């Protein structure tokens, strides 16, 4: 597997420092510029590393209050602030993809209605697991990704770059513009098959997240359906009154 991104390695180093007591629970970490100088990395790398620590529930961050150490042990669940495409990209970098199965499919009427595409259209189905970068290495998602068959040649890149979003790869390889993503989130109970693949309890609580990646003329070329066990994943958003 390719080397983890620099900010993930920095986050792991800081997590180890917290666990060892260098930064005690209740204290505030050095400011971003100071950490960047100490670790000899950019401030943007430090910022991404601190976001990763926040996702692990090791720290909390508040404007003008710094980064406070909240725990010396990461939670087994995985919280993700997925309010933008950059957030989604960061999450993908932290949770590497392992492809489980691929096949060519033709959408029937019911499936097309559920996914939001045309019946009779042809797609490449890529099923994969995403694994948490934290030490316990739990699978945090089981994803069925449907790729428009015109872009089925993307499969080698998907397998070779497990930390990249498929939407990123579609843009890089085929020059597509996929700046618009429709997202639907619903409560879900794990089926027996899903539970077995995720090593979770059958009928266990889960989140089901459907995303449609749209071209500028609003045609879906990538549709993903991800199932996340409820104790391993949460989606957090911030609402601001206009």
Rounded alpha-carbon distances, angstroms, from residue 38 to 25, 32, 33, 64: 20, 10, 9, 21
Residue 42 has pLDDT above 90, yes or no: no
Cα separation, 104 vs 83, whole angstroms: 31
Q: Does residue 197 or residue 239 have the better pLDDT? A: 197
Asked if residue 92 belongs to a domain, the reply is yes
Q: Is the pLDDT of residue 45 over 90?
A: no
- pTM for the predicted model, two decimal places: 0.66
Return the C-alpha torsion angle 209, 51, 91, 228, nearest 10. -40
Domain-located, residue 241: no
How many domains does the structure of the chain reveal?
2
The residue from 18, 49, 69 where one domain ends is 69
Max CA separation in the chain (angstroms) = 59
Can you tell me the distance from the alpha carbon of 108 to that of 117, in angstroms, rounded to the nearest whole number?
A: 10
- Domain limits at 161? 79-235
**Co-location of 155 and 209 in the same domain:** yes
Supply the pLDDT for residue 51: 78
Indicate whether 171 and 54 sit together in one domain. no
Are 118 and 193 within one domain? yes
DSSP 161-184: -TTS-HHHHHHHHH-----EEEEE
pLDDT of 77 higher than 50: no
Residues 65 and 100 both lie in one domain: no
Average pLDDT over the chain, rounded to whole? 85
Q: Is the pLDDT of residue 170 over 80?
A: yes
pLDDT of residue 128: 95
Predicted local distance difference test score (pLDDT) of residue 79: 47
Same domain for 57 and 115, yes or no, is no
Residue 35: both structure tokens together: 């950490």
Q: What is the pLDDT of residue 164?
A: 82
CATH code for the domain in which residue 120 is found? 3.40.1410.10
């Amino acid at each position: 597997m390719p080397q983890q991104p620099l900010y993930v390695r920095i986050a792991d180093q800081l997590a180890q420092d917290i666990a060892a007591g260098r930064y005690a629970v209740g204290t505030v970490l050095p400011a971003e510029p100071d950490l960047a100088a100490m670790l000899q990395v950019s401030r943007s790398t430090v910022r991404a590393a601190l976001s990763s620590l926040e996702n692990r529930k090791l720290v909390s961050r508040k404007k003008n209050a710094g980064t406070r150490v909240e725990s010396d042990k990461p939670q087994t669940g995985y919280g993700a602030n997925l309010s933008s495409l950059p957030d989604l990209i960061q999450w993908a970098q932290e949770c590497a993809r392992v492809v489980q199965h691929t096949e060519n499919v033709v959408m029937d009427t019911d499936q097309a209605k559920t996914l939001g595409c045309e019946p009779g259209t042809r797609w490449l189905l890529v099923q994969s697991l995403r694994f948490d970068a934290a030490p316990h290495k739990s699978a945090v998602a089981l994803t069925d990704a449907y790729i428009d068959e015109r872009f089925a040649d993307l499969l080698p890149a998907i397998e070779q770059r497990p930390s990249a979003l498929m939407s990123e790869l579609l843009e890089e390889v085929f020059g597509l513009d996929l700046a618009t993503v429709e997202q639907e989130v619903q409560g879900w109970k794990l089926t027996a098959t899903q539970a077995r693949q995720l090593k979770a309890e059958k009928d266990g609580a889960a989140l089901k997240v459907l995303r449609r990646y749209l071209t500028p003329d609003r045609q879906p070329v990538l549709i993903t359906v991800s199932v996340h066990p409820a104790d391993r994943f949460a989606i957090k958003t911030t609402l601001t009154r206009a």
